[in-house]
Structure 1
Amino acid sequence: MYYLPEPPYFLMFVGFFTGITCGVAFEATLKQIVNTWYKSSAKPADLLDSSTLQLPFLGICVGICVFLASGVEIFLMNRWVSYAISLPMTIFIGALVWTQLGKLLEQLQKGGSKAIDLDAFF
């Protein structure tokens, strides 16, 4: 008897839900930490080192990795290959976002929102 595997639609939904819920938690935590940072004289590097901000970001990365791997698995029908593709991509993009957030917070500390040159984007 031949077994035809079902596509991982449930894992795709779980990954998407995890990414969204952790994103909401990350947004709330980041707002709270930035408000605390604005009132005190802490450095932005100290804010990014706190586990209260790292844990929701890690949850976002895990959720997006599962979502991407499930989406690739629908087309490739191989779980190992799909995770081999999505895991490095998620780690790379997550590291880029984390370093960009750190640079943005440092730039805001130096000169506030006027330090961000919006003319470079337009």
Structure 2
Amino acid sequence: MSYYEPPYFLLVAGLLIGVACGASFEAVLKQSVQAWAKNRSTRNLANLQGRALFIPFLGICIGICLFLGSGMTIFGFPLSLAFGIAFPLTLLIGALVWWQLGKILMQLQQGGSKALDLDVY
């Protein structure tokens, strides 16, 4: 009989990876949008979704996948099933968030910050 120990380390590591990459993502996004707003260059805001922004976003997705998979394992799911659910779920949500970010950046470019004023609604 083997004793199975839940992956608490992976749970905490996934959370820390997600938070650290999230802070980096926020800083890069703010810096890029502020640089675009200063220059109002012809450069498309959707082009800000380059490597500098994608790498922290990928880190967030990896952290979320680790957190979800290890969290389900802690609650009794087998490791393969837990990460079999966590990986596609993270991939789908990550793709939807990345797509939505592109749409928001296009709205910002077309209508300025007034286009994103959610208090009006």
State whether TM-score is above 0.5: yes
CA distance in 2, matches of 1:117, 1:27: 19
Match status 1:86 vs 2:83? no
CA offset at residue 115 of structure 1? 1.7
Match status 1:8 vs 2:41? no
CA offset at residue 3 of structure 1? 1.0
Q: Which runs of 5+ in 1 are unaligned?
A: none
CA offset at residue 77 of structure 1? 4.2
CA distance in 2, matches of 1:8, 1:23: 22
Aligned Cα RMSD in Å?
A: 1.2
Match status 1:27 vs 2:12? no
Equivalent residue number for residue 64 of structure 2 = 64
CA distance in 1, matches of 2:105, 2:2: 52
Q: Number of aligned residue pairs: give it.
A: 118
Superposed CA deviations along residues 71-110 of structure 1, whole A, max 9, x for unmatched, are: 0111234111001100111011111111111111100111
Aligned positions of 1:71-110 closer than 5 A: 71-110=71-110
Please, what TM-score do these two structures have when normalized by structure 1? 0.91
CA contact (8 A) 1:22 1:60 kept: yes
Equivalent residue number for residue 47 of structure 2 = 46
Structure 1 runs, 4 residues or longer, greater than 6 Å off: none
Superposed CA deviations along residues 21-80 of structure 1, whole A, max 9, x for unmatched, are: 0000001111111111212321022111x2110000000000010000000111234111
CA distance in 2, matches of 1:23, 1:117: 23
CA distance in 2, matches of 1:73, 1:108: 41
Is the alpha carbon distance of 1:117 and 1:21 closer, same or farther for their aligned partners in structure 2, counting shifts above 3 Å? closer
CA distance in 2, matches of 1:85, 1:47: 31
Q: Which runs of 5+ in 2 are unaligned?
A: none
CA offset at residue 17 of structure 1? 0.4
Greater mean alpha carbon deviation, residues 99-108 or residues 111-120: 111-120
